[in-house]
Amino acid sequence: MATKRYLMTPGPTPVPPQVLAALAEPIIHHRAPEFRPVYEQCLEQLRTVARTESDVLLFGSSGTGAFESAVANLVTPGERHLVVSAGNFGERWAQMTAAYGADVDHLRYAWGEIPEPEDVGARLRESGGAKALWIVHSETSTGVVSDIEALAAVGKEAGALVVVDAVSSLGAVPCETDEWGLDAVVSGSQKALMTPPGLGLVAVSPAALAATGSSPRFYFDWERTRKAQAKLDAPFTPPISLVAGLNVALGLLLGEGLEAVFDRHVRLGRAAREGAKAMGLELFSPDDDRSAVVTAVRVPDGIDGKEIVRTLRDRFGITIAGGQGELMGKIVRIGHIGWFDVFDITTTLAALELTLAELGADVERGVAVSRALAAFEHATA
């Protein structure tokens, strides 16, 4: 029998069979009457998931492409922008805004730290403000989920637009776009939205639409896409099959109920953390309910993190993620965003326990799975 596969990375994530089936449907033209209701429902469901009355613009791109739409539309060379980073993705956005000629004020935390609203406020006061504040909701490289509501409030107070990388958080943890006054919320299809990669999206506030700058852009131009979507059209041929798949996935998400989905993610995070701790492992990501997207675990002394990833994959068919950049080999990351239940977590923990024991780590045996199950069952709030 071929090895059964378990995809436990924080993106791409497993895709439910109903979504896969939609991907295999014959192609219909994106201007055909059969596609329009699918497209309309998809855009409407995206607004529901993103908790906004504003437009959610869809791009044929990865999440990074959709993020670049925010940069290309909002950055005019020479303007000051405050970018907050505490990991790989925040640093990417600092690089990207700089590539567009922004005068980047980079508030750089060490990887794994949690950005503090006080620091952001102080920085904005010192520098005399910024056109936009760029923050990461879920830093996939470290497992930290920031308090976007508080960070955004500080930005709004200083008169900055607030742009949020919600690539791995949207649909997994609460992101109240309108209530928190977020001006651009960027995400992608391949994380909590349970769809293959290839669709990027951005929820754009009227204030953001009114503040676009002079950087050159065409494919990622917000106004061009907004205008087309208003007529249920797209400026360029969209990834039709992915839109159809995303629509099915969003239906599953909203069928479960957003609150129930968030609750499930909190409990999945607890299960992963409690299971890891029960084995005697040290967490790298915060041991709090907010960080419910990715659980990052420190690799025990004397063990190579890459060897853990390789063994899980080759021996057990389980794909988890290692550390990126400066954390390479030092942490392993278990994603639990999207189409996951507790048995995905227990399977991964069981195999991780076997792997670590085999690699000679001193782990507590036989307790992780039951502790994870107990943590998952425990009601939240």
Q: Using CB under 8 A, list all residues that contact its own copies.
A: 5, 7, 9, 11-15, 20-21, 23-30, 32-33, 59-65, 68, 71-72, 95-96, 99-101, 188, 190, 196-198, 215-220, 235-242, 313, 319
Residue 17 CB, nearest distance to its own copies (Å)? 9
Structure tokens at 146: 């920031």
Toward its own copies, which CB reaches closer, 171 or 188?
188
- Minimum gap (Å) between residue 195 Cβ and its own copies: 9
By beta-carbon proximity to its own copies, the closer residue of 298 and 313 is 313
Q: Are strands 6-7 and 318-319 parallel, antiparallel or unpaired?
A: parallel
Determine the Cα–Cα distance for residues 132 and 137; give it in Å rounded to an integer. Answer: 15
Q: String of b and e for 82-115 (b: at least 16 CB within 10 Å)?
A: bbbbbbbbbbbbbebbbebebebbbbebebbbbb
Q: Which long-range contacts (CB under 8 A, 24 or more apart) does 260-265 make?
A: 261/171, 261/172, 261/192, 262/172, 262/173, 262/174, 262/292, 263/380, 264/340, 264/341, 265/172, 265/173, 265/192, 265/292, 265/293, 265/336, 265/337
Q: Which is nearer to its own copies, 59 or 134 (CB)?
A: 59
Least Å distance between CB 7 and its own copies? Answer: 6
In the three-class reduction of DSSP (H, G, I as helix; E, B as strand; rest coil), residue 98 is classed as: helix
Which is closer to its own copies, CB of 124 or CB of 312?
Answer: 312
Q: How far is the CB of 164 from its own copies (least distance, A)?
A: 18
Residues in the chain, overall count:
381
* Nearer residue to its own copies within complex by CB, 72 or 369: 72
Residue whose CB is less far from its own copies, 18 or 380: 18
| Locus of tokens 């995400």 | 187
Nearest approach, Cβ of 307 to its own copies (angstroms)? 15
User: Where are the extended beta strands (E) located within the chain?
Assistant: 6-7, 55-60, 80-85, 103-108, 132-136, 138-139, 144-145, 161-165, 184-188, 199-204, 294-298, 318-319, 321-322, 331-335
Instruction: Find the shortest distance in angstroms from Cβ 249 to its own copies.
Output: 12
Least distance to its own copies, CB of residue 75, Å: 8
Give me the amino acid identity at 134: W
Q: Which residue, 280 or 317, is less far from its own copies as judged by CB? A: 317
Which neighbouring-strand residues pair with 185? 164, 203
Residue 310 has, within 13 A of its CA and on its CB side, a CA count of 8
Q: Which is nearer to its own copies, 266 or 345 (CB)?
A: 345
Q: How far is the CB of 188 from its own copies (least distance, A)?
A: 7
Query: Could you tell me which residues are beta bridge partners of residue 162?
Result: 133
Residue number with CB closer to its own copies (198 or 286): 198
Minimal distance in Å, beta carbon 245 to its own copies? 9
Q: Which helix (H) or strand (E) holds 37?
A: helix 35-49
Helix (H) or strand (E) holding 174: none
